[in-house]
Amino acid sequence: MSDPLNRLAEHPYVTHIAPVMVAPPRDPRWKRRLAGGAAVLVLVGGGGTAGAFLTEKYLDGTPAAAVSTATGSTVAATTVTEDDELAPVVAKVQPSIVTVLVDGARESSLGSGVVIGADGLILTNNHVIASTGTVSVRLSTGETVPAKVVAADSVHDLALVQATGLSGLTPVTFAADDSVAVGDTVLAFGAPLGLEGTVTSGILSAKDRSLSTGEETLTGLLQTDAAINQGNSGGALVDTAGQLVGINVAIATAGESTGSVGLGFAIPSGTVAGVVKQLQAQIDS
């Protein structure tokens, strides 16, 4: 298995609407489960599927924001920005993006993930796979294969999933820690609202944000105005070189809305790389 940490070096975002592969119709699983309660913070996991958490905590002490985490889904189109050069970035990254599915007896969940091993090792958010059920992974080609959770870190909200019977996949390339700057263009990949293959663009809005899920506090997060919605959780935030700068984890929304208002958050690549190394050590021990 190739070491994803040897590929640390990617960065920001796009400025044009880059057409992308049209994927299957949106998967209804994104809306099967919704965490209840009036919330300010929502971990966007599969549009209310497993991993969707609502809290009454405020983002950085600001009472106006409601944060949601995102997970993956199926998309029929991608967002185009102002720069035609974004299309090659999308083409480079898309094969490394997957949808993570968890089918249980009473509920199903859907989230996004990124390939970090050619043999099917997938990185996603812990809240995406937190529910009980059978795990599977759907590749960018549309192929769905069985998978299992092999390691998880609830504190940093990251997990590793091993898909079976695969080889020759394209691992994502990690950007060097702290390589992205406020104002840089970034692209978000995933399956918002069950639409797999979706890509949105924006800029890096801020760094070192903190938010509380009610049980854990995530710190050092990247903030972006790229559209992120439920279903994007576990997906990639990349720079214009197609390198991973973060893993999408949450959005802030206003009032009772759970949609994107241009306040998305991602776990930075440096944190992700460190946690991945620890999780891989657990697997190998």
Annotated catalytic residues are 127, 157, 233
Dist. CA 25–CA 75, nearest whole Å: 7
Cβ atoms of 114 and 245 closer than 8 Å:
no
194 within 8 A of 73, measured Cβ to Cβ:
yes
Angle formed at CA 266 by CA 78 and CA 258, multiple of 5 degrees:
65
Is the alpha carbon torsion for 72, 75, 116, 248 positive or negative?
negative
Least Cα distance to 274 among 249, 247, 251 occurs for 247
CB neighbour class for 62 (10 Å; exposed up to 12, middle 13-18, buried from 19): exposed
Alpha carbons 186 and 70: distance in angstroms, whole number:
16
